[in-house]
Structure 1
């Protein structure tokens, strides 16, 4: 992740305000990246479009904890074909994963240009409505754990894969999103359990190292193509990170 982490927030209201600003920046970046995909598709440069799609998908993954607040907008941008009557051919399948499907299943400009155009419009609409969307402070500790929990369930299982085999890259981006939330909540966590945020951060560092070690140069391999010995450090460190993160929501719980 090239972005610096945000400063710890002094209270939950400040954390939500800072996170909203972070999300707005990511959505603005995403809008520009989708325009690049659209241009490459229009020029029939599908190799460039595939690379640009991945950068756009990673930006979305890094949005992280706000996903539960997006509703139908989030589905339009990052939905999957599961459950749709016609599957991947269903008109209701839109967004980043629809682009992924087309780019990695031999579709061309005629099929993909409308998908990219709609995706750009959907991102722009979400960005415009972001100031009015509720980002609940109570959700942030939950999402701090759930981002990587969902990554294990959806990325490393293959559930999200529409042809790119980029599960490891998406998991690394989800790790980035988790770090952002943890950074914002760090002071609040330490007020409740001194030193705990540092210990969680250390577990995330181990996961980051395990993910990086799977790469060949700068290239992410296909998760399922890795030998078991190469997958085990990732799954072990991810499990340990999730165990550490699971305590974060409990710290903020008001239940007796």
Structure 2
């Protein structure tokens, strides 16, 4: 899960944004078409900063097209309001582009490009609070979707808390076999809703950073720090404080998701962001590099994204039935491709899955990425 190494603390209250839209590395540089009537904003990245055009639009649906023109140090752009991440496009190497769509109310925003010489650029939305213009039946379906997703996130994080404690209790007890057994099941609930956690600034890195995501390894915490202790170091000596912090961070996540709200486009953005997680770190084997439990995370990302899509599906079927059918079929294809690797209640060690088989999984993810990347714009009118 690529992250900026620039320290940042975002104060999250009220509206929670789900980050991301087009899956890089699997979407073949596909960009979404904006819905009819949506404002179009171009964001070009270079090492000096974000170049936003126009820098002011009217309240309502907005589609941002982000392109990395020649930046080596900058690979993402985020839209912030009061330091809340509203949406983002990340993992853009030079020459790549992607989009994200949102329904914006009037007010002052910033486009944030981590690691640029000038990281933040002012962006203004004018006019009264934006109102959706969908057909009443579509609007009712979308209202139900966002309500259902809020309940789903709360439920999954409620499961994450005790599952994490089962893992951390074993760590504190120094019981390596029991901790190893509890590692992947605990992470499963986190991986289902990971884009939500990523919206809370430093909370996701604290819970889920990999070793290459941190500049000071003495401050490295979370699941992967304990994964290294279990599988590589083969010692849990001194890890009790890390286990305690993981419990505290998961409890904080629970308190935050209980008071969040969403936009329909954010559900679609989050589904695609989860697919991006699969392409960028699960299929490559980077995520669980010590335990090789990547396929469990892979399934959780796909299941979490499919849940968001399923909630949007009634509205999308009214808007674009062909697209709804295609995405449904492609989700089923990805999950079917995982079945040969099932082992008991989990999956085989990912290091035993050869490159040829990984390529097949990549092809299945590619087949889903392109149609899924179109959904946010469809539900954002």
Q: TM-score, normalised by structure 2?
A: 0.59
Identify the structure with the greater helix proportion: 1
Q: Answer yes or no: is 1:145 the counterpart of 2:275.
A: no
Would the alpha carbon gap of residues 135 and 76 (structure 1) be closer, same or farther in structure 2, given more than 3 Å must change? Answer: farther
In the superposition, relative to structure 1, how do residues 29 and 49 fare at CA in structure 2: closer, same or farther (>3 Å)?
same
- What runs of 5+ residues in structure 1 fail to find an aligned partner? 1-7
Would you say 1:77 and 2:207 are equivalent positions? Answer: yes
Q: TM-score when scaled to structure 1?
A: 0.85
State the superposition RMSD in angstroms.
2.3
Q: Which runs of 5+ in 2 are unaligned?
A: 1-137
> 1:43, 1:111 → 2: CA distance?
11
Alpha-carbon separation, structure 2, partners of 1:130 and 1:229: 40
Within 2, Cα distance between the matches of 1:140 and 1:248? 9
> What are the within-5 Å matches in structure 2 for residues 111-190 of structure 1?
111-190=238-317
Aligned to 1:15: 145
* Structure 1 residues 153-232: aligned runs within 5 Å: 153-216=280-343, 218=345, 220-232=347-359
Aligned to 1:46: 176
Closer, same or farther in 2 for the Cα pair 1:219/1:181, shift >3 Å? closer
Q: Any runs of at least 4 consecutive aligned residues in structure 1 with deviations exceeding 6 A, and if so which? A: none
- Label 1:186 to 1:9 Cα distance change in 2 as closer, same or farther (>3 A): farther
In 1, the alpha carbon distance for the partners of 2:307 and 2:197 equals 14
The answer to whether the 8 A contact 1:144-1:248 is kept is no
**For 1:9 and 1:253, how far apart are their aligned partners in 2?**
11
Question: How many residues are paired up?
Answer: 244
Q: Distance in 1 between matches of 2:265 and 2:200?
A: 16
